């Protein structure tokens, strides 16, 4: 499987990602081995996070941006952090009809990742998926986040460049954009800057450019840019890539690029340790047995959940 990934086999890459996303412990262990092998391959990829509220035109933008990149000879992988409805378990992105042109491109790979219910789950899986895609030869990995929530912070912590898409006209409040997300952005793109929207977009560009001065300077030394674009009419798309290339060049020179990757690696290490330790704990047969009994006791209201947790922990942490 690792050889297949190294050779850029899309089907094997997809299967490996499925393993990585699995909640099954046997799969997790297999996935870990694959990720470890993929990490040994020297790669030179660029990771770009793309966020914005539903309706801002993220998929149209990603399609235009991705096609421009593949035409320029790049291989592009798109990862969607897909928030699943926690009740009906239905996927919002589910429809693969999104980004149809890009999906057919031999130099593109699109992966909508169903998120588990766990808040942190998405994060870990996405980071590993980036590694697999890069090992498969993808030069640029686009990580899309849907909605404007905590997943943005997670994605921000695993990309080199963070893009925020906005619409002209609608206020920040209505767009549900939080201050923290604007702070994270290395660039704001006013999307749908076409037709009667053009003037409004130019105005919004000025407004945001001014507003960005009020935010604290970035440790990258980069001043966030505001650009307008029409994904539908393919206007301003190339300029966005030029800007990102400038950023990459500039931050490689001032060594922020590498420092940032190392900080992200440290965070990933700690997250992986924490996942591993809980995984190891629950894998233990007697822990699993006692957990089942305690869940039953909680169901019958014989014990408080907090007390039950303490009981389980006390019994199984003595051997350390």
Q: 47 to 86, contacts with a copy of itself by CB under 8 A?
A: 53-55, 83-86
Q: How far is the CB of 293 from a copy of itself (least distance, A)?
A: 12
Q: Are 142 and 50 in contact (CB under 8 A)?
A: yes
285 is a site residue for a copy of itself (CB under 8 A): no
180 is a site residue for a copy of itself (CB under 8 A): yes
Nearer to a copy of itself, 145 or 230 (CB): 145
266 is a site residue for a copy of itself (CB under 8 A): yes
- Between CA 228 and CA 164 the distance in angstroms is 12
Nearer to a copy of itself, 11 or 214 (CB): 214
Task: Name, in order, each residue with C-beta under 8 angstroms of 191's C-beta and a sequence gap of 6 or more.
Answer: 52, 56, 57, 61, 165, 166, 167, 229, 230, 231
Beta bridge partners of 140: 46, 76
41 is a site residue for a copy of itself (CB under 8 A): no
Of positions 150, 209, 234, 250, contacts a copy of itself by CB under 8 A: 150
88 is a site residue for a copy of itself (CB under 8 A): yes
Distance, CA of 91 to chain centre: 17
- Residue length of the chain: 320
Q: Which stretch binds a copy of itself (CB under 8 A): 9-17, 101-109, 177-185, 186-194?
A: 177-185
Q: How far is the CB of 90 from a copy of itself (least distance, A)?
A: 8
Q: Are 108 and 78 in contact (CB under 8 A)?
A: yes
Of positions 1, 28, 92, 232, contacts a copy of itself by CB under 8 A: 92
Task: Name, in order, each residue with C-beta under 8 angstroms of 177's C-beta and a sequence gap of 6 or more.
Answer: 53, 148, 164, 166
44 is a site residue for a copy of itself (CB under 8 A): no
Q: How far is the CB of 105 from a copy of itself (least distance, A)?
A: 27
Binding string, residues 153-172; x marks residues near a copy of itself by CB under 8 A: xx-x-------------xxx
Q: Are 225 and 187 in contact (CB under 8 A)?
A: yes
Q: How far is the CB of 131 from a copy of itself (least distance, A)?
A: 8
Nearer to a copy of itself, 232 or 312 (CB): 312
35 is a site residue for a copy of itself (CB under 8 A): yes
- Between CA 196 and CA 191 the distance in angstroms is 13
Cβ count within 10 A of residue 33: 12
Nearer to a copy of itself, 12 or 132 (CB): 132
211 is a site residue for a copy of itself (CB under 8 A): no
The footprint of a copy of itself on residues 215-244 (CB under 8 A) is: 215-216
Nearer to a copy of itself, 118 or 210 (CB): 118
Q: How far is the CB of 174 from a copy of itself (least distance, A)?
A: 6
- Between CA 305 and CA 9 the distance in angstroms is 47
Q: Are 22 and 54 in contact (CB under 8 A)?
A: no
Cβ count within 10 A of residue 147: 15
Task: Name, in order, each residue with C-beta under 8 angstroms of 190's C-beta and a sequence gap of 6 or more.
Answer: 166, 167, 168, 201, 204, 205, 208, 226, 227, 228, 229
Q: Which stretch binds a copy of itself (CB under 8 A): 147-155, 192-200, 224-232, 236-244?
A: 147-155
272 is a site residue for a copy of itself (CB under 8 A): yes
Of positions 9, 15, 32, 103, contacts a copy of itself by CB under 8 A: 32
């Amino acid at each position: 499987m690792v050889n297949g990934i190294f050779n850029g086999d899309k089907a094997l890459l997809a299967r490996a990602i499925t393993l990585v996303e699995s909640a099954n412990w046997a799969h997790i262990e297999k996935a870990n081995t694959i990720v470890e092998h993929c990490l040994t391959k020297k790669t030179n990829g660029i990771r770009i996070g793309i966020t914005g509220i539903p309706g801002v035109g993220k998929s149209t933008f990603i399609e235009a941006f991705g096609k421009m990149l593949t035409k320029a000879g790049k291989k592009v992988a798109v990862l969607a952090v897909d928030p699943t409805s926690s009740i009906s378990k239905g996927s919002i992105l589910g429809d693969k009809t999104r980004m149809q042109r890009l999906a057919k491109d031999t130099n593109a790979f699109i992966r909508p990742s169903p998120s588990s219910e766990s808040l942190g789950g998405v994060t870990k899986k996405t980071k590993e998926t980036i590694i697999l895609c890069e090992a498969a030869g993808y030069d640029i990995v686009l990580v899309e986040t849907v909605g404007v929530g905590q997943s943005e912070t997670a994605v921000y912590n695993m990309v080199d460049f963070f893009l925020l898409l906005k619409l002209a006209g609608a206020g920040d409040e209505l767009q549900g954009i939080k201050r923290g997300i604007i702070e994270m952005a290395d660039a704001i793109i006013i999307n749908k800057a076409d037709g009667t929207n053009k003037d409004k977009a130019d105005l919004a560009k000025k407004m945001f450019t001014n507003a960005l001065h009020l935010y604290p300077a970035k440790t990258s030394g980069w001043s966030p840019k505001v650009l307008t674009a029409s994904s539908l009419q393919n206007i301003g798309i190339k300029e966005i890539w030029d800007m990102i290339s400038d950023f990459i060049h500039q931050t490689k020179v001032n060594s922020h690029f590498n420092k940032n990757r190392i900080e992200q690696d440290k965070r990933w290490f700690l997250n992986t340790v924490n996942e591993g330790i809980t995984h190891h704990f629950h894998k233990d047969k007697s822990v699993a047995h006692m957990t089942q009994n305690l869940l039953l006791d909680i169901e019958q209201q014989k014990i408080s959940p907090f007390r039950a947790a303490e009981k389980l922990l006390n019994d199984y942490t003595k051997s350390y």
